[in-house]
């Protein structure tokens, strides 16, 4: 068996998330595996570094797959891309060591969330930006973001209320940047729970709207209850930018 690693970019607008499902064929993992079988005749399991939610995008998702092969990397990448739909693309396909695992080998994941604060809409970016259309108190949001940093139990920021595994995660950095009427929130961490970034964004937006105090974040952690955090921000503003190994 050969282990192939590659970067995946996708527009998640029409997909039900990354993970293959029995009830629908419209998933990123499902499309990758379906087209890979057409190209190679092999049923390979494509393992992603992160399981993005429905409607969430990726510039730099990373994945790997074990195949009998061998296949020349350049030819496999070309044939696979030709078989994929126009909203999914793979890049830099290469052979990796057998023990490499896209999820377990990852050290840091970088996500970006985009919010349009101005009333002037960017109609061509509507699939990739939350068109909020209101000014936020960004300084207050930065104070709240600083309290989200570090290693915590993020149960209150998890969309899966029945999750039995540990909710302890480390958020390494959160950077808020204003650019041409948009607010970009960049998150770096060792891993993120279901809906975790979108719930953190919703919580920070409530702070920016004056509906919640920045110093309320510690009490949200202590509650260990989803109802203590803010709402879940829409999926289209979120993008997996890069996975760092």
Is 215 assigned a catalytic role? no
Q: Which of 53, 87, 173, 190 is catalytic?
A: 53
Q: Are 235 and 198 in contact (CB under 8 A)?
A: yes
Q: How far is CA 129 from CA 12, 194, 227, 235, 236, in A?
A: 13, 20, 25, 9, 6
The residues, ordered by sequence, that sit 6+ positions from 180 with a Cβ below 8 Å of its Cβ are none
Using CA atoms, how far apart are residues 130 and 137, in angstroms rounded to an integer?
A: 17
Phi and psi torsions of 232, nearest 5°: -90, 115
- Cα–Cα distance for residue pair 26/127, rounded to 1 Å: 17
Residue numbers annotated as active site: 53
């Amino acid at each position: 068996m050969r282990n192939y690693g590659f970067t995946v970019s996708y527009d998640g607008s029409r997909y039900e998330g990354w993970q293959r499902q029995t009830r629908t064929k419209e998933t990123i993992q499902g499309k990758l595996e379906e087209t890979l079988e057409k190209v190679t005749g092999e049923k390979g399991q494509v393992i992603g570094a992160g399981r993005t939610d429905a409607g969430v995008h990726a510039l730099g998702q990373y994945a790997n797959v074990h195949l009998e092969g061998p296949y020349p990397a350049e030819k496999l990448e070309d044939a696979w891309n030709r078989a994929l739909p126009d909203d999914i693309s793979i890049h830099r396909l290469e052979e990796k060591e057998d023990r490499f695992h896209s999820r377990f080998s990852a050290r840091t994941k970088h996500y970006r969330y985009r919010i349009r604060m101005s009333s002037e809409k960017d109609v061509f970016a509507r699939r990739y930006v939350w068109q909020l259309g209101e000014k936020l108190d960004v300084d207050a949001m930065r104070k709240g973001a600083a309290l989200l940093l570090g290693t915590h139990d993020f149960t209150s920021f998890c969309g899966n209320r029945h999750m039995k595994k540990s909710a302890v995660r480390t958020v390494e950095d959160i950077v808020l940047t204003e650019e041409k009427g948009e607010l970009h929130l960049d998150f770096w961490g060792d891993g993120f729970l279901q809906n975790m970034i979108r719930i953190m964004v919703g919580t920070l937006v409530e702070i920016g709207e004056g509906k919640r105090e920045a110093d309320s974040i510690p009490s949200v952690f202590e509650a260990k209850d989803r109802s203590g955090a803010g709402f879940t921000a829409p999926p289209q503003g979120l993008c997996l930018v890069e996975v760092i190994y």
